[in-house]
Structure 1
């Protein structure tokens, strides 16, 4: 079942709510530049095990409204708070992939982990997506500027190249086209403005606000958010659990879907 939830006047975000209403809720937050649809292969299986899977389209993406403004991590985290309160869900597993992982971390800090029982960071774009002093990992700001410029000039070509980086294991051409279509469902300006947030926002100071069990799920062959991101998060988030996927890249929840689904459910049941 899908519906929109108003998060401010004139802006609604789309939510897909799948599985038993009395099941343990997992709130999935997608990464750049996708939508809740990227978690299809979790929605297919996890509800069978009794989980309530809630997929959120961030503002500007998928079937959510597309305002001209509001693409900072703070605003996107605030939208998540409204969704959680509107659904009146508790004991939530907040599962964020890539940029969605960064936004989930900001939510934990900005909203004191409101109603969150555990945090799952899937190839999270954190603590920083871009390189900096004493942080030689990720893209340079110039690299991200090129992505932003291509968003404004040839977004289909950008998404085609991004798909090649996203999956370490071979995918079919129809699957690649499906993946590109998900990205094209976003507004171009939303894609660009969230890339600015990826480029500029840092999460070092947010990590100390995480006081729930945290699972860090990361592929060793990730070409977008290198494995070092996950290793650093594991070091800095007290008591976190590290799930390393030796043969996966950024799209670990697809390329290692059976193992990932099992690991996520085991993490939920044992923490």
Structure 2
């Protein structure tokens, strides 16, 4: 298995597929998943002539489970170390959900010298938590509930979470037990402490200043029936901050649209990259 060791001694697992001479696309996964959630995209885009890379965030998947430093700043710095170690240039950053926060904070802390384009998919920026200045966010009680469910019975909570995550509670939804089982498998590979810390990282991190530093073409793609990261406090606010961002909304789509709308998503991302 391919791994790098970060400056603080944490081992990070990553996948690196396709031609090493091709333009790289780096995929960042959501909570509580792993790089495996991007396998279909990695194969599809490698077949299209790109180099595809995805890593397991620290304390997730096959990466080391660490007690401390499970923060958005550290996630961004880990991403920077991966990009530097693999010597990626002209990279296209694609982040889903928490991964969208990770990508955004990377640009805020490390700039866009190595970045060609960015795609934020169902992403958490600019801020998920409701505050006086962010009335469209979710109340802290919502995230306390996620913490409690994860701590008290993580296995059952992850299985139950797949229902709103993929919109399986909507009329006419076709439920895939395979997708639900795979979500559970990936989630249970991670470390409990890191996953609990990550809830604070994705819900309470304020990305307004990071988004203001974007200066490359940016796609903001979101489902308008996303029950995990509501579109009003995320995508619709992000495009007000990122200059000339392209907003693409999937009517009726859920949070896990990279899987439930796989072919459409792959085609739209490819079109954005090649445009």
- When normalised by structure 1's length, the TM-score is 0.95
Distance change in 2, residues 1:37/1:150 (3 Å) = same
Is 1:255 the equivalent of 2:254?
no
Q: Tell me the residue number matched to 1:52.
A: 51
* Deviation by residue 1:2-51 (Cα, 9 ceiling, x = unmatched): 40011124311111111121222111111111111111221231211111
SS at match of 2:46: helix
Structure 1 gap ranges (5+): none
Q: Tell me the residue number matched to 2:84.
A: 85
Distance 1:22 1:259 in 2: 27
After superposition, residues 213-224 of structure 1 pair within 5 angstroms as 213-224=217-228
Q: Tell me the residue number matched to 1:178.
A: 182
Shift of 1:162: 1.5
Instruction: Give yes or no for contact 2:124–2:203 (8 Å, CA) kept in 1.
Output: no
* Deviation by residue 1:51-78 (Cα, 9 ceiling, x = unmatched): 1110111100011111111111111100
Distance 1:82 1:114 in 2: 14
SS at match of 1:8: coil
SS at match of 2:148: helix
Instruction: Give yes or no for contact 1:30–1:38 (8 Å, CA) kept in 2.
Output: yes
Distance 1:61 1:83 in 2: 16
Between 1:86-95 and 1:244-253, the stretch displaced more is 244-253
Shift of 1:258: 0.9
Q: Tell me the residue number matched to 1:63.
A: 62
Q: Tell me the residue number matched to 1:158.
A: 157
Runs of 4 or more, structure 1, over 4 Å off, are none
Q: Tell me the residue number matched to 1:121.
A: 120
State how many pairs are aligned.
Answer: 269
Q: Tell me the residue number matched to 1:27.
A: 26
Structure 2 gap ranges (5+): 168-172
SS at match of 1:45: helix
Distance 1:210 1:233 in 2: 11
Between 1:159-168 and 1:117-126, the stretch displaced more is 159-168
Q: CA RMSD in A?
A: 1.3
Distance 1:149 1:114 in 2: 40
Distance 2:72 2:52 in 1: 23
